[in-house]
Amino acid sequence: MALVVQKYGGSSLADAERIRRVADRIARRVRKGDRVVAVVSAMGDTTDELIALARQVSTEPSARELDVLLHTGEIVSSTLMTMALHDAGVAAVSLTGAQAGIRTDAVYGRARIAGIDTARLEREIVAGRVVIVAGFQGVSEDFDVTTLGRGGSDTTAVALAAALRCERAEIYTDVAGVYTADPRVCPAARPLRDIGYEEMLELATTGARVMHARAVEVGALYGVAILVASTFDEAAPGTLIHEETTMEQANKVRGIAHQPSVAKVTVRGVPDRPGIAAHIFEPLAEAHVSVDTIVQNASEEGLTDLTFTVARDDLDAALRAVGGVQASIGARELASDASLGTVSVVGTGMASAPGYAARMFRTLFDEGINIELISTSDIRITCLVQADRVPGAVRALHAAFALDRE
């Protein structure tokens, strides 16, 4: 009897009919002899709708109250799933994140899991019940409800798999796995059979929305392999995220990720002396603005420019944070551009073979796309471009790196 941890995404639970179909899928697994812990997301667009509702009553909803509001979405789906299982003749119980023992820090809206007390979960499992856990949530030391960030149910599932010592977590979604690029933007994209943690992490942090980046990190840290597969197309094999990538190593670029809404902030005329970067980035950290690329230009006559990128939604907070220190550091000007996006090519093979950057830049040049900023890791190259050029860039790079072929 194997214990399996699964996760079902919001689109797989969008209405009562789909909840019954997932319950049926879980019931069949139980009848095969497996014990199941299933994490659920909120139904359909519930989370977006709750956020919109909060914005109708408040210009800047309190982060604490917002977390309490949002975590209800997952509670609705977990209870409905449990009831559907009862009707399918399966013993089941729903648990909120707190009841499942998921403890987090107190950073509302993007809390990190600090530990999981599995005692209650294990009691339910031993009692022979399927446990349906409300995803994306936990509880702080002060018993405040927290959420793990958008898409955080993936992280709930992988963290539970680690805590329950499962070798694998199964993430079920509305697509057939991890694709070489977003199929909505690039019709030639195809699902990968497997991919390494590192590559998946780079793809997830640079825009591939199929997996929560933190979930991949937790998987890598605890050696939990992650299967990403379709909820309703049970014949499709899905993608295994694991330690080694073996099947498609020959093609050294594994995927293209993109972000459609990125903003760039430039602090101009900053005196080039020690401590300036710290003075700029500390207030950003305090405001919980996560900064992606940072570039400091070579200084001229003791002055330099500092440029960084943030998610477009974070631009106002970033400008407020940096605006607050602009005078004290003696910066001349604060400029921003909110109409940008990124496109990234990712693959472990890039670390050892030259020429990938040249091919990427040549491809963008041939498309007439201007590169605003470049950043790299060992296994990734990212270019910042105008947002309206992102889809074309993805398609051109997908073809240039022959990703449409096995």
Residue closest to Mg ion, measured at CB: 10
Query: Beta strands 194-196 and 35-40: pairing type?
Result: unpaired
Residues 394, 171 contacting (CB under 8 angstroms):
no
Q: Which of 370, 362, 364, 270 is CA-nearest to residue 322?
A: 270
- Give the nearest distance from C-beta 376 to Mg ion in angstroms: 31
Task: Pick one of ligand ASP, Mg ion, none as the site partner of residue 136 (Cβ within 5 to 8 A by kind).
Answer: ligand ASP
- Give the nearest distance from C-beta 39 to ligand ASP in angstroms: 9
Residues 172, 230 contacting (CB under 8 angstroms):
yes
C-alpha to C-alpha distance for 100 and 329, rounded to whole angstroms: 47
Task: Pick one of Mg ion, ligand ASP, none as the site partner of residue 73 (Cβ within 5 to 8 A by kind).
Answer: ligand ASP
- The phi and psi torsions of 239 (rounded to 5 degrees) equal -120, 130
For every residue of 61-125, DSSP letters joined together read --HHHHHHHHHHHHHHHHHHHHHHHHHTT--EEEE-TTTTTEEE-S-TTS--EEEE--HHHHHHH
Residues 134, 77 contacting (CB under 8 angstroms):
yes
Task: Pick one of Mg ion, ligand ASP, none as the site partner of residue 341 (Cβ within 5 to 8 A by kind).
Answer: none
- Give the nearest distance from C-beta 10 to Mg ion in angstroms: 4
260 vs 283, beta carbon nearer ligand ASP: 260
C-alpha to C-alpha distance for 312 and 314, rounded to whole angstroms: 5
Task: Pick one of Mg ion, ligand ASP, none as the site partner of residue 150 (Cβ within 5 to 8 A by kind).
Answer: ligand ASP
Element (H, E) at 183: none
Query: Beta strands 35-40 and 130-134: pairing type?
Result: parallel
- Give the nearest distance from C-beta 45 to Mg ion in angstroms: 8
Task: Pick one of ligand ASP, Mg ion, none as the site partner of residue 152 (Cβ within 5 to 8 A by kind).
Answer: ligand ASP
In the complex, the residues that contact Mg ion under the rule CB under 5 A are 10, 41
211 vs 329, beta carbon nearer ligand ASP: 211
C-alpha to C-alpha distance for 207 and 143, rounded to whole angstroms: 32
- Give the nearest distance from C-beta 238 to ligand ASP in angstroms: 18
Paired residues of 268 in beta bridges: 333
42 vs 262, beta carbon nearer ligand ASP: 42
- Give the nearest distance from C-beta 68 to ligand ASP in angstroms: 14
DSSP type of residue 401 = T
Task: Pick one of ligand ASP, Mg ion, none as the site partner of residue 207 (Cβ within 5 to 8 A by kind).
Answer: none
42 vs 192, beta carbon nearer ligand ASP: 42
Residue type, 312: R
- Give the nearest distance from C-beta 155 to ligand ASP in angstroms: 8
109 vs 237, beta carbon nearer ligand ASP: 109
152 vs 196, beta carbon nearer Mg ion: 152
135 vs 219, beta carbon nearer ligand ASP: 135
210 contacts: CB under 8 Å, gap ≥ 6: 173, 175, 177, 178, 179, 204, 228
135 vs 196, beta carbon nearer ligand ASP: 135
Residue closest to ligand ASP, measured at CB: 153
- Give the nearest distance from C-beta 56 to ligand ASP in angstroms: 18
In the complex, the residues that contact ligand ASP under the rule CB under 6 A are 10, 41-42, 47, 73, 135-136, 150-153
- Give the nearest distance from C-beta 54 to ligand ASP in angstroms: 14
DSSP type of residue 191 = B
41 vs 82, beta carbon nearer ligand ASP: 41
For every residue of 237-303, DSSP letters joined together read --EEEES---TTTTSS--EEEEEEEEEEEEEEEEE--TTHHHHHHHHHHHTTPPP--EEEPPPBTTE
